[in-house]
């Protein structure tokens, strides 16, 4: 399966709601395998279909967790139920998040500590599990992509200003920019 280019903020598919998956077929299986390959090559803990230019509601993940959930999986047409998100400022050492579509940047962000994830696997079978801590963060991050949101859209004013300035300085926020995992330098230094 081929590794696909990762879209960078500004690509329209990243900033609009993705479409519901209606066909659980070989094309979907191929897409999921490509997403796993791309996620692995990029050293990511998750990858949403819009991040490889496909506007469909699914994401893959690779995250060892304490919740009894397989550490590698796919969730198609997910829904999330979240615990309350604290109104406190995010901890700049403990709550730092990054994104393959905002390569090389990381900023503090508050997320819910618990999430219930429901959806389907690649064969159309129901998926239903709870995620806590960082695993819950991964689920929220990837789910946001399906609604056209990047983590930088959720930053508080202080960190949001820094992110917007950095994105402007990089020349991003325009259509057509990608990076290729396994070919281009790893923006997170893995």
Structural domain that includes position 63: 6-85+108-179
Show binding-site residues: 99, 141, 145
Q: Which sequence positions are flagged as catalytic?
A: 142
Which residues are annotated binding-site positions for Fe cation? 99, 141, 145
* CATH number of the domain within which 160 lies: 3.90.45.10
1 domain-assigned = no
pLDDT digits over 20-75, tens only? 999 999 999 999 999 999 999 999 999 999 999 999 999 999 999 999 999 999 99
CB proximity list for 84: less than 8 A, separation 6 or greater: 112
Give this prediction's pTM: 0.96
Number of domains composing the chain: 1
Instruction: Report pLDDT digits (tens) over 117-171.
Output: 999 999 999 999 999 999 999 999 999 999 999 999 999 999 999 999 999 999 9
Confidence of residue 1 (pLDDT cuts 50, 70, 90): low
Closest CA to 188 of 4, 49, 41, 33: 41
Question: Does some domain include residue 43?
Answer: yes
For residue 40, being part of any structural domain is answered with: yes
Q: Strands across the sheet with 72-82, in order?
A: 46-48, 58-62, 72-82, 114-120, 126-132
């Amino acid at each position: 399966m081929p590794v696909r280019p990762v879209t960078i903020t500004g690509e329209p598919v990243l900033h609009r709601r993705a479409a519901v998956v209606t066909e659980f077929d070989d094309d979907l299986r191929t897409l999921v395998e490509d997403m796993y390959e791309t996620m692995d090559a990029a050293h990511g803990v998750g990858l949403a279909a819009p991040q490889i230019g496909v506007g469909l509601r699914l994401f893959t993940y690779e995250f060892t967790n304490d919740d009894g959930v397989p550490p590698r999986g796919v969730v198609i047409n997910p829904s999330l139920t979240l615990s309350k998100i604290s109104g406190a400022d995010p901890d700049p050492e403990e709550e730092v998040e990054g994104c393959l579509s905002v390569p090389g940047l990381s900023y503090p962000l508050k997320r819910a500590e618990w999430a219930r994830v429901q959806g389907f696997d690649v064969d159309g079978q129901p998926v239903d599990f709870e995620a806590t801590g960082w695993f819950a963060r991964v689920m929220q991050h990837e789910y946001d992509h399906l609604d056209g949101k990047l983590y930088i859209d959720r930053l508080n004013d202080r960190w949001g200003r820094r992110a917007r300035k950095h994105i402007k300085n990089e020349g991003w926020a325009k259509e057509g920019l990608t990076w290729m995992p396994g070919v281009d330098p790893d923006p997170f230094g893995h």
